[in-house]
Amino acid sequence: MFKKTHVLLTLALLLIFSLAGNVLPGQHQAAAKEKHNKTLVMGTSADYAPYEYIDTAKGNKIIGFDVDVARHIADKLGYNLVIKDMDFNGLVPALDAKRVDFVMAGMTPNAERKQKVDFSDTYYKAKQLIVTNDPKIKKIEDLKGKAIGVQLGSIQEKEAKKIADKVDNVSIEKRNKVPDLVQEIMSKRFNAAVIEDGVAIEYLNKNPDLSSFVIPGSASAGSAVALQKGSDLTEKFNKEIAAMKKNGELDQYAKKWFEPKTEKKAEKKSIVDFSTIMPSIPYILKGILTTLKFVVVSILLGFVLGTILALFKISKVNVLRWGADAYTSIFRGTPLILQLLIIYNATPQLTGYKIEPFLAGVLTFGLNSAAYVSEIIRAGINGVDKGQREASMALGVSYGSMMRQIILPQALKNILPALMNEFITLTKESAIIAVIGTTDIMRRAQIVGADTYRYFEPLITAGIIYYLMVMALTVLGRMLERRMSRGD
């Protein structure tokens, strides 16, 4: 009865997944030259300068001490290196789910992590510092009654707990990234943070208000490569690390990235200074393409599936109607970010399929949007005068032809403003895909903030870009309304 409709919907679904497939490869940072026939995927959190970070003024390439060491080892083992960026607390789960082959992110091999992954020998040792902008905090005892920030899932959490056991009324606050800790200090939400010395150097050099001191009695934290349980790469990595220690290559890389800067600290800048991030503006703008691809594919999926669900909801078949209502109830009744994390993190666990961030985001937003779109379309269909249905049936018009040629066009005209509002909402909410590492506008703005140590300017820039995109959709919606109103 719906042969033509089925063909059109099938073609639309094929278009959706072909578009999704075309953009998936962009999620990895491939090696500059395909020197070898094999590839290793390295997981990292590129906000931990100088271990791994992005110099956004020069491009979108991840650089740093860990990256140099990883490339050296991979090359010696006969592999090309691909780098996958994500939040630090998601690295071990990604390794456990076999999304990456190994992790290098200044990670310390503690007992908890060793239960889930294997570690190589230590390739670098560092000390833990208290970083603060309060001149009165010069020793551990001065932290009494203060708030200390630590990175979620890091070895610094344990150091902070040791301090809390010794000093009264110390509260420990956790954030996903080290740049977030520094921002909280500068915003005076935290009094101090526990940060590794090699990482703290960058912040101390670029922020004249910050000072630091070594935590007394803190054991030197060693960084090691995390690998999958039982991986045959562990022994190979150990062999290469030992060779690099023996021939001095590790020391050379450490000197390159960890040696303190000799220049004077940066002078204080004005509260708002967009000139600081001007070289990084092109980097943020590149995220528009990723966001647009994501939004377009999600809208197509949401509209197609939403139309099907709407037809199910007005169907006389109870099973279809109940199924569509249950679907809508689930996706409207749970948080969007929860749906995203379930699809992204649970898919590998349940199916073994390594779903990419872009595809996970498209499925989440497409499926979520479909629930809302189905209600909008259902309301539009019910809003069409029942007399037109009766007249169509009296003339012998088939149900499929009636819906396709008479009812749906009128319903679409009536619900166009509501549909455009849903698409605008989807465009704005697309920013949450940054939490799974997709380098959209929001993720790039956060990276620029981590690179420049200024957050207001890149976030406002991202806000302006989203606003302009929404305004463009608004104008498009009004043009479509005028076009469809010509026959009135």
Question: What single-letter amino acid sits at 101?
Answer: D
pLDDT tops 50 at residue 272? yes
- Say if CB 422 and CB 376 are below 8 A apart: yes
Range ranked top by mean pLDDT from 213-217, 302-306, 341-345, 389-393: 302-306
User: Band of the pLDDT at 80, cuts 50, 70, 90?
Assistant: very high
pLDDT tops 70 at residue 24? no
User: Band of the pLDDT at 81, cuts 50, 70, 90?
Assistant: very high
User: Band of the pLDDT at 278, cuts 50, 70, 90?
Assistant: confident
Determine the Cα–Cα distance for residues 272 and 270; give it in Å rounded to an integer: 5
**Average pLDDT, whole number, for the chain?**
83
Closest of 337, 335, 330 to residue 309, by C-alpha: 330
Whether this prediction's pTM lies above 0.85 is answered by no
pLDDT more than 90, % of the chain:
32
3-state secondary structure of 171: strand
User: Band of the pLDDT at 32, cuts 50, 70, 90?
Assistant: very low
pLDDT tops 50 at residue 398? yes
pLDDT tops 80 at residue 33? no
pLDDT tops 80 at residue 374? yes
Residue the block writes with tokens 């203060």: 146
The confidence score (pLDDT) of residue 16 equals: 44
Helical residues (DSSP H) of 24-173, grouped into ranges: 65-76, 91-96, 111-114, 156-166
Buried/exposed code over 418-445 (b: 16+ C-beta within 10 A; e: otherwise): bbbbbbbebbebbbbbbbbbbbbbbbbb
pLDDT digits (tens, 9 = 90+) for 171-188: 999 888 888 888 889 888
Determine the Cα–Cα distance for residues 131 and 128; give it in Å rounded to an integer: 9
pLDDT digits (tens, 9 = 90+) for 107-116: 888 888 888 8
pLDDT tops 90 at residue 258? no
Which residue has better confidence, 385 or 75?
A: 75
- 456-484 and 408-429 are packed helices; what angle lies between their axes, rounded to 10 degrees? 170
